[in-house]
């Protein structure tokens, strides 16, 4: 994924999240917005590494770890699912279609895992 694609996707997602969930600003302020941006870069880094390794378990392990860390900080699993769903949608326009399909597959499986553990 090109750096310009990454930056554009992360900026869009962070803006959408804070627009959809204004309570996040009230609760976490500018620091929370900064962390959300960092988290999305980490999501994309892990998707990229998983793709390069060809080992989906790497992303699933990351998703499990992420859920543990964020829920311990009062960020609910439903917000992680929402974030992953936004990533999935914003990956539609990637130039590398093989990479896009792989990332979306990893995200879909991550979302299914998160939904199953959030019931």
Span 37-47, mean pLDDT?
97
The pLDDT, as a whole number, for residue 107 is 98
- Is the pTM of the predicted complex or chain greater than 0.85? yes
pLDDT tens-digit series, residues 47-85: 999 999 999 999 999 999 999 998 888 888 999 999 999
**pLDDT at position 75:** 82
Ordered by where they begin, the domains of the chain are 3-117 (1.10.490.20)
Q: What is the pLDDT of residue 119?
A: 73
Tokens of 76: 């609910």
Kindly state the average pLDDT of the residues 84-104.
94
pLDDT > 90: percent of the chain: 78
Q: Residue 77: CB partners within 8 Å, gap ≥ 6?
A: 67, 70, 71, 114, 117, 118
- The DSSP output letter for 73 is T
Q: How high is the pLDDT of residue 73?
A: 84
Dihedral (Cα; 66, 102, 91, 62), 10-degree rounding: 10
């Amino acid at each position: 994924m090109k750096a310009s694609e990454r930056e554009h996707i992360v900026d869009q997602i962070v803006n959408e999240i804070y627009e959809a969930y204004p309570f996040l600003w009230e609760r976490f302020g500018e620091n929370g917005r900064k962390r959300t941006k960092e988290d999305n870069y980490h999501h994309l880094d892990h998707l990229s590494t998983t793709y390069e390794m060809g080992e989906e378990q790497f992303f699933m392990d990351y998703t499990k770890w992420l859920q543990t860390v964020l829920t311990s900080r009062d960020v609910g699993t439903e917000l992680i699912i929402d974030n992953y769903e936004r990533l999935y949608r914003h990956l539609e326009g990637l130039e590398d279609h093989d990479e896009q399909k792989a990332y979306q597959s990893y995200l879909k499986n991550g979302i299914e895992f998160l939904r199953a553990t959030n019931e």
